[in-house]
Structure 1
Amino acid sequence: MNPKVSVIMLTYNHAPYLRQAIEGVLSQKTDFPVELIICNDNSPDNTDPVIAEFAEKYPDIIKYFKHKKNIGFVENQRFAFGLAKGEYLAYCEGDDYWTDNNKLQFQSDFLDRNTDFVMVTARNQLFIQNENKLTSDGKDHIFADKEFLDYTQDSFFISRPTQTFTYMIRKKFMDLKWINIYPDYRDLYYFYHLLEFGKGRSFNKIIGVYRLHDGGVFSSLEIEKKHRTSINIFKNIKRQNNDSRADRQIIKDLDQLILQYYYRKEFNTPIINSNLYSAIFERFFLSGNFKIFLIQILKILKYTIKR
């Protein structure tokens, strides 16, 4: 019998965290068959024996593939998606984990009942590994005590109340051709294209934990990189699809980036920060808002003096 849900787990150097990730999938209570596809991108750490132990114990559920050489995240993702047999796809990387053992059942039930939705997601907590600290996802203000939020391709450019490892999607709308079209393929690309076929819903409930274990994740340069990455993703979406709605997210990221350049002392003083000027001018050319442009230029002097 084919599985109804295929869970994709990509892993590379996740040995310390994998057991928790795999157990989060195996603990799911469902009235349908599930397959767990684990693709190990030739990890040099202790990843292989950890997975092999589970694969031997649960051969009817776990499909384990270890690449003989490192093929990179994008190709590992393509490989894994190509193996999936389920009607629905769920995703959990080897360093994140689910805490709600009804995650797959309630999401599958929702998609069964609501054919106009192509994806369903939920909320999560954050675990800061280096501080051994569990925190909120910071999205209380988005949900504002609502039971759920619906999103469309249009609202995708303003707010995306989800993390990738919380989703379930209809596999038939997952087109792997986009991996070839977009550079440095990211999940936001297939979210965008999935939402061509229907809506998404994000439930205001915690279903798992997203792990942060990069020592520099909160550094100024990492924050700058995060916003620049987002800007480039939405520039690619705009360019490939002639979709000017992407400007909304680009402007939003530029505003956040500009604030970082003003406040963060790790960056050059605002008056000599060429990246700050570049971001302000880029925002102006996209928005045409001269008033905001003038305010941002004047703030350069203000925040230079404050320092």
Structure 2
Amino acid sequence: MLTYNHAPFLKEAIEGVLMQKTDFDLELIICDDASTDHSEDVIRPYAERYPYQIKYYRHNLNIGFVENQRFAFQKASGKYLAYCEGDDYWTDENKLQFQVCFLENNPDFVMTTARNLLLHQDTGEITKDGKDYIFGNKDFVDYTQESFFSARPTQTFTYLIRREFLDLKWIDVYSNYRDLYYFYHLLQFGNGRAFNKVVGLYRLHEGGVYSSLEIEKKLKTSIDIFKNIKTVNNDSRANVQVSKDLDELITKYFYLKEFPNPLFNKKLYKAMLERFLINKDYYNLFLQTLKIFKYAVKR
């Protein structure tokens, strides 16, 4: 459990772990990256009450998410590793038990995940995770490194992975290390299974509907991640996700009010060119160009 200034949410996160019903031992590793709020006051009583279950580390200086994650992974000693950041929480008391049982009985799988609900912190509204299109009415879906590039039916805080396949060297290979990198490399060793079962709540702090600039940032981050995967591993399959993100990035420029005149938007043309260079899709480029002129006239 990585945390930084999550004091208002830590009680739910910690208790979501402590309530787990298992027939095996578990340890909760909490790594506080020098929080400036009262996180210490929330965590310390739990650590003192459950000294055999909770390993609590607080950094004196903020070392950043990536190094805090490396530190936490290095402290783990279990056969399996699960993750829950300090502002999310598990709601299923059998979350770890059914995931461990599955991996114990299916050695060709390296990870298992599940579904979650979304808790909109500003309004208190709880919504679905938007993954129905992946699961349909199926109890589970299996995924591979191949399908990883087109659909990822999970949030990070729902996973359970075999720790033996987590190679920390990739933290130093990729810039701005993210969970998608180690998912990609884990799936080199086997498949994953996502259960159509809600196990927790993922907290959203976005302050309402994303502005176009926030959407742009998220999409560009995803584009950079998959371009890095392609470059480091010479894996052109990453173009599937890059193209998908570019298409969405381009579409957002057309319809959001922050970009009233696409005719003069250099970022839009740059995204279109990058999309074209990946697939050499002249028809797609024509449609995108036509839409620019239609939208400009309409505005």
Same fold (TM over 0.5): yes
Q: 1:24: which partner in 2?
A: 16
Q: How big is each residue's C-alpha offset from its partner over 1:50-101, in whole Å with a ceiling of 9 and x where there is no partner?
A: 0001101111100000001100000000000000010000000000000000
Query: Is the CA contact 1:24–1:98 (under 8 Å) kept in the aligned structure 2?
Result: yes
Partners of 1:260 and 1:130 lie apart in 2 by 24
**Which runs of structure 2 are paired with 1:68-83 in the superposition (5 Å)?**
68-83=60-75
Q: Give 1:206's match in structure 2, choosing from 192, 198, 210.
A: 198
Q: What is the TM-score with the length of structure 2 in the denominator?
A: 0.99
1:15 alignment counterpart? 7
Q: How many residues align?
A: 299
Kept after mapping to 1: 8 A contact 2:122/2:208: no
Match runs of 1:191-230 below 5 Å: 191-215=183-207, 218-230=210-222
2:133 corresponds to: 141
User: 3-state SS of the aligned residue for 1:39?
Assistant: strand
Relative to structure 1, the CA distance from residue 180 to residue 257 in structure 2 (aligned partners, 3 Å threshold; closer, same or farther) is same
Code of the residue aligned with 1:93 in structure 2: it is E
Does 2:283 align with 1:303? no
CA contact (8 A) 1:217 1:223 kept: no
The structure 2 residue matched to 1:175, chosen from 167, 180, 186, is: 167
In 2: Cα distance, 1:38 partner to 1:216 partner = 30
Q: Deviations over 1:149-182 (max 9, x none)?
A: 1100011011110100000000000000000000
Query: What CA RMSD, in Å, does the superposition of the two structures yield over aligned residues?
Result: 0.9
2:244 to 248, 252, 256: 252
User: Cα deviations across residues 130-153 of structure 1 (Å, max 9, x unaligned)?
Assistant: 111111101111111111111000
Residue 156 of structure 2 corresponds to which residue in structure 1?
164
Distance in 1 separating the partners of 2:209 and 2:19? 30
Whether contact under 8 Å (2:115, 2:198) holds in the other structure is: yes
TM-score (norm 1): 0.96
| SS of residue in 1 equivalent to 2:251 | helix
The alpha-carbon deviation at position 120 of structure 1 amounts to: 0.1
2:118 corresponding residue in structure 1? 126
- Indicate whether 1:105 and 2:97 are aligned: yes
Q: Which residue in 2 is equivalent to 1:35?
A: 27
Query: Is the CA contact 2:9–2:88 (under 8 Å) kept in the aligned structure 1?
Result: yes
The answer to whether the aligner puts 1:234 opposite 2:226 as a matched pair is: yes
Question: Secondary structure of the equivalent of 2:119?
Answer: strand
SS in 2 for 1:15: coil
Equivalent-residue separation in structure 2 for 1:47 and 1:25 (angstroms):
17
Unaligned 5+ residue runs, structure 2? none
Q: Deviations over 1:113-132 (max 9, x none)?
A: 00000000000000110111
Q: List alignment gaps of at least 5 residues for structure 1.
A: 1-8
Partner in structure 2 of residue 4 of structure 1: none
84, 88, 93: which is aligned to 2:76? 84
Q: For 2:133 and 2:231, locate their aligned partners in 1 and report how far apart those are by CA, in whole Å.
A: 32
Q: Is the 8 A contact 1:87 1:172 kept in 2?
A: yes
What SS does the corresponding residue of 1:266 show, helix, strand or coil?
A: coil
CA contact 2:31–2:58 (8 Å) conserved in 1: yes
Distance 1:165 1:184 in 2: 19
Q: 2:45 aligns with which of 27, 48, 53?
A: 53
Q: Partners of 1:298 and 1:63 in 2: how far apart?
A: 59
Residues 1:241 and 1:189: Cα distance change in structure 2 (over 3 Å): same
Please report how far the alpha carbon of residue 214 of structure 1 lies from its aligned counterpart in structure 2 after TM superposition: 3.2
Query: What whole-Å deviation, never above 9, does each CA across 1:5-64 have from its counterpart, x for those lacking one?
Result: xxxx00000000000000000000000000000000000001011000110111110000
State the secondary structure of the residue aligned to 1:200: strand
Q: Distance in 2 between matches of 1:148 and 1:291?
A: 37
Fraction of identical pairs, as percent: 65
User: Displacement, 1:305?
Assistant: 2.2
CA contact (8 A) 1:35 1:61 kept: yes
Deviation (angstroms), 1:306: 2.5
3-state DSSP class of the match of 2:194?
strand
Q: Counterparts in 2 of 1:276-287, with a 5 A limit?
A: 276-287=268-279
Do structure 1's residue 288 and structure 2's residue 280 form an aligned pair? yes
